[in-house]
Amino acid sequence: MSNPAGTPREITRRQMLRRIGLTALVAGPAAGVLSACATSGGNSAASPTASASASAVSAANPFGVVADSPLEVVIFKGGLGDSYATDVHEPLYKKTFPGASVKHVATQQIAQTLQPRFAGGDVPDFIANSGTDLMDMGALQAEDQLLDLTPLFDAPSIDDPSKKVRDTVVPGTIESGLIAGKPYILNYVFTGYGLWYNSKLFQEKGWTPPKTFDEFKTLCEIIKGAGLTPYAYAGKNAAYYQYWMILISAAKLEGNQVLLDIDNLADGAWTRDSVKQSAAAWAEIGKFMEKSYEGLIHTEVQTRQNQDKVALYPSGSWLENEQKANTPDSFEYAVTPTPSLTAADKMPFEAIRAAAGEPYIIPSKGKNTAGGLEYARIMLSKEGAKGFTEKSGSLTVVVGAAEGLPLSPGLKSVADAQTAAGANIVTYSSFENWYKELETELRKQTNSLMFGRITADEFCANMQKKADSVKADSSITKQNRTV
């Protein structure tokens, strides 16, 4: 998933000029007019990969990292910050290989920073591919630019060499990073999604989080009477927070199959009854939202919630950390699952969307791929994961790594919700990464639906039309998922 926690979209003039420059300079082998073109040069730099970094493979060094080989790590510096890398993982790597130099690059524009480097063949060894401007990983994989992470998951765990890394992570983690059936993406952060509210305010006013959409509407009326906006999301740059909720409700009604079918671009997936009912129910809730929220960005809406002007807000478990500086003492974050659509829903009310998120990738044509794998193995150790949770305030996919850590109210609420959900987990959506065009269209249509410009039926029809056109587009590599 693309967690753009704290990813404002303002751009500076310089970045804009650089982007324009890149577009203008999108170069190709112009029939021999010039040899220095953007599309050439990728092949020549592609060869010196594993051969250069062949070192003795041992239980402690399962990938055969050359001890003094330099490592370049590119971290998306968004809501999670980058101190988890500079203060935890990179020092741990240097502790293992004291002779190696680690180059740290922090950026908010992953694609703008790295796309030219991929085209030129000079790629880093490890990438946190996140944010609004993340790189299209389906496209990268299709061009053989990503390293297959199977050796990572089959390697022995740092904490217990008798266990493989794949047995130390939350079930579903590896599956969430599959492209064309192979794990190319390490989704590292454990994220729970739902409706967030101020538990202190709700307690004080005697409000309880709704379990059905009928209760939801009744509660919205009550909250509106109290002078608050009952429910809101940021239409300007975070419409996807809302479409997650629509998809969750559809999945609760029909089961995860509907999300799998949407990911697989199955015919008529968007026009199914479950999606229609969910869209219609959420459009009703949208009527409680002031029109102005379509023009606000996520931090503006989140700040209004911290000021107790907005009661319920859809988001994921990074929210508490992102708002840390703005949260007053009278505000304590808590999360509740999305309400049930009908009494006959396939999944109970307690079901939540929980997913391994924050994609990390290793370029296949990097100079130190073994180092990249080792770096990932360090991240998946208990020490690495615990340090990550401490620095970033987010849980990781490493089982039991947060044990003994004092958790904040919001994080504890996520952990409780996860326990209550048990096996009833709404699955993630892969189309968000696979088919960015479909994702962009969904944002557009979600705003249209929630702010009352189209009906639920039109929403479904428009989305189905876009899904069909993506399916028919031969330049887009199609993906498939079965779990």
Which of 18, 40, 49, 420 is in the footprint of another protein by CB under 8 A? Answer: 40
- Using CB atoms within 10 Å of the CB of residue 282, give its burial: 0 to 12 exposed, 13 to 18 middle, 19+ buried: buried
Least CB distance to another protein at residue 414 (A)? 28
Q: Does 50 bind another protein (CB under 8 A)?
A: no
Least CB distance to another protein at residue 168 (A)? 32
- The interface mask with another protein, positions 202-241, x = CB under 8 A, is ---------------------------------xxx-x--
Cα–Cα distance, 318 to 322 (Å, whole number): 6
> Taking a C-beta distance cutoff of 8 angstroms, is the pair 356, 397 a contact?
yes
Backbone angles phi and psi of 39, in degrees to 5: -85, -15
H/E segment holding residue 197: strand 186-198
Least CB distance to another protein at residue 303 (A)? 11
Cα–Cα distance, 220 to 339 (Å, whole number): 13
**96-132 burial: b if 16+ Cβ within 10 Å, else e:** bbeebebeeebbbbbbbbbbeebbebbbbbbbbbbbb
- The interface mask with another protein, positions 108-147, x = CB under 8 A, is ---xx--x--xx-------------x-xx--xx-xx-x--
Least CB distance to another protein at residue 243 (A)? 12
Least CB distance to another protein at residue 253 (A)? 27
Binding residues among 458-477 for another protein as defined by CB under 8 A: 473-475
Least CB distance to another protein at residue 413 (A)? 29
Least CB distance to another protein at residue 11 (A)? 7
- The interface mask with another protein, positions 310-349, x = CB under 8 A, is ----------------------------------------
User: Tokens standing for 137?
Assistant: 């990983």
Nearest CA to 314 out of 162, 160, 192, 207 is that of 192
Cα–Cα distance, 300 to 383 (Å, whole number): 35
Cα separations in angstroms, 271 against 190, 202, 275, 465, 467: 31, 36, 7, 10, 11
- The interface mask with another protein, positions 395-434, x = CB under 8 A, is ----------------------------------------
Residues touching another protein, count (CB under 8 A):
62
| DSSP secondary structure, 440-463, as one string | HHHHHHHHHHHTTSS-HHHHHHHH
**How many Cβ atoms from other residues are within 10 Å of residue 397's Cβ?**
26
- Interface positions with another protein (CB under 8 A): 9-13, 16, 19-20, 22-31, 33-34, 37-43, 111-112, 115, 118-119, 133, 135-136, 139-140, 142-143, 145, 235-237, 239, 290-292, 294-296, 436-437, 440, 443-444, 447-448, 451, 453, 473-475
